[in-house]
Structure 1
């Protein structure tokens, strides 16, 4: 009986993982190009990229010596 080729199995697993990651990145890029997809709400600060680009970042105030 032949022995299992664990190196081959591992490589196939790595290739599948890499393909899945590339597919996910491709889908993410497509969503970024087409923000009018049903998954994104227009004007929602959580998903609206335009509002994130124009809003100034908030900086928390530092406590002063006086309290």
Structure 2
């Protein structure tokens, strides 16, 4: 049985991570310039838009004065 090539797997993960980061930066630049997404799809809610919704929102701290 062949041994796993961990170096190859790591490199593939790094490449996927880099590609995803570049896509995010490109989308961010497009939003900033006001052109919107190039593929005509609206960005999904809660994906980098700064809004908190559902489980992402932290409960407000209770203040007893």
Q: What's the TM-score once normalised by structure 2's chain length?
A: 0.53
Equivalent position SS for 1:4: coil
* Stretches of structure 2 lacking an aligned partner (at least 5 in a row): 37-41, 44-65
CA RMSD of aligned residues (A): 2.2
Unpaired stretches in structure 1, ≥5 consecutive residues: 40-67
**Matching residue of 2:5:** 5
Flag as ranges the 4+ runs of structure 1 deviating above 2 A. none
Q: Count residues in correspondence.
A: 38
